[in-house]
Structure 1
Amino acid sequence: MIKIKKIFKLGALCFLLLLLWGCASHAVISPEPIRKGESVSGISWSMENVFPVAFYRRGLSSRVDIGFRVGLPVYGTGLDLTYTVYSYGLRREFINIAYSLSSNSSFDFTYYSLRYFKGRAGVRTFYKGFRIMYIPSGISHERSFRFGFLGGISLKRFGVELGYFHDFDKGQPFEFILSQKPKNPGAITDFGFPGEHSRLVGMSFSLYFFMKKSFGN
């Protein structure tokens, strides 16, 4: 009986740690334009969330699509809007405005520049961009403004994205950006979790899988 209680407590602690490790979350874009009435759905996994997140995007017009995300139990949940600024030939540029729910819930403004490459395996998509990230009230009840860059590649049913967004106000000083120990107060909470000014909150690595598309094959 004692062993069962210990296992239960350990499991509950691990679950709590996984939840609080979900420092921030970000939208999953569609590499292809979504026309009015069309939709795309799938599953994403990110370093920020730990648990998978289901996403769904639907086209509202030839330039605008909206996205919804549902996380477990709620972290990673959010909504976003994408507006295509420029599209010609194999190039496309668009803006994404998003809100994400997590222990450090944030608003994101991201500008993407995307290019298509056709090959034997189908169309490959490479993209890059910059992101402005605002956390109005994080895990320590403080604000954080961040700016950084991201890049990604998307194949037919699979994609990967990597980025980093730095807190230039109260974040880790740039000269110590590669240091193992945080040099900024409040980066780690009293319980050992990343605060809104931590470098970990600005790191982004995600994998996403398209389960269903209403466009293409």
Structure 2
Amino acid sequence: MFIGAQGCTSHPAIQPNLPEPGTTDMGFTFSVENIVPVIWWRRGINENTDIGLRVGIPLSGTGIDINRILFRKELSWEMLNLAYSINPNSNYDLSYIKFKKNIRSRKISWLGFRVMVIPEGAVRRVNENDLNYTSSKRFGLFYGRQMTQKWGVEFGYFHDFNSMPLGKVFSTDWDPNSESVKAEYGDQYKFYPLTSGGNLPSEYSRKVGLSLQLYMYLGKLNK
């Protein structure tokens, strides 16, 4: 169901450390969302804020974001992230993330809630004069953790409740134009096609909500 979701959307690279003013971290992201790796940099502005830049090849996966620490304790902290990403279904993300450091291993894990908006995806661009096609608004959770000091992994799913019922996410035969769907739900989903032409997922597809990212942390550039 989720295979072939490359190039749909993209998300900010999560750096599992507190911001350090004047320092720049660098790394790569390998993800289901992008066919090729994305290189990223994070620059500490002050002890509570850093900014990120991602560059994809060609442009898919390129984006900017900003982190702001809201609360911090000895072994945990909470952060707000605002991001914009360029891709076939360019998206804005607003994420609330809680980090926790394991006392024994010293490795960090994180759990986040994300609101994701695709204001003008592939289908809406084609039907720009048809007001029935709206922006895709998604909500969901993601979880990540350090595997080593150099590697991290993150996965999540963000659902568009207007495009299909949450209970049908794992359905293999969901088709908003099928007679069985119309008989059960009416025609409320007909303006949320799963593809934008060919096999490319539209902004309304559940594939767009899937996120699976592998992070390579290269360390600081200005030690």
Q: Same fold (TM over 0.5)?
A: yes
Aligned match of 2:194: 187
Give the deviation of 1:56 after TM superposition: 0.2
| Contact kept in structure 1, 2:78 and 2:97, CA below 8 Å | yes
Distance in 2 of aligned mates of 1:65 and 1:180: 42
Give the deviation of 1:215 after TM superposition: 8.5
Distance in 1 of aligned mates of 2:220 and 2:106: 15
Distance in 2 of aligned mates of 1:111 and 1:140: 29
TM-score, normalising length from structure 2? 0.83
Which is worse superposed, 136-145 or 48-57? 136-145
Unaligned runs of 5+ in 1: 1-17
User: What letter corresponds to residue 149 of structure 1 in structure 2?
Assistant: L
Deviations 1:138-166 (A, max 9, x none): 01125100000000001311100000000
RMSD: 1.7
Please, which of 14, 32, 47 is the counterpart of residue 29 of structure 1?
14
Aligned match of 1:95: 80
Distance in 2 of aligned mates of 1:196 and 1:27: 18
Unaligned runs of 5+ in 2: 125-133, 177-189
User: What letter corresponds to residue 113 of structure 1 in structure 2?
Assistant: K
What is the percentage of aligned positions where both structures have the same residue?
Answer: 36
TM-score, normalising length from structure 1? 0.85
Deviations 1:25-64 (A, max 9, x none): 0000210112110111011111001210000000001100
Distance in 2 of aligned mates of 1:190 and 1:69: 28
| Contact kept in structure 1, 2:159 and 2:166, CA below 8 Å | no
What SS is found at the alignment partner of 2:95? strand
Aligned pair count? 195
Structure with larger RCO (C-alpha < 8 A, sep 6+): 2
| Contact kept in structure 1, 2:26 and 2:221, CA below 8 Å | no
> Does 2:167 align with 1:175?
yes
| Contact kept in structure 2, 1:34 and 1:62, CA below 8 Å | yes
Aligned match of 1:12: none
> Does 2:154 align with 1:166?
no
> Does 2:104 align with 1:112?
no
| Contact kept in structure 1, 2:24 and 2:221, CA below 8 Å | yes
Distance in 2 of aligned mates of 1:151 and 1:215: 29
Distance in 2 of aligned mates of 1:175 and 1:67: 35
Distance in 2 of aligned mates of 1:215 and 1:127: 26
Distance in 2 of aligned mates of 1:50 and 1:59: 29
> Does 2:141 align with 1:149?
yes
Aligned match of 1:52: 37
What SS is found at the alignment partner of 1:183? coil
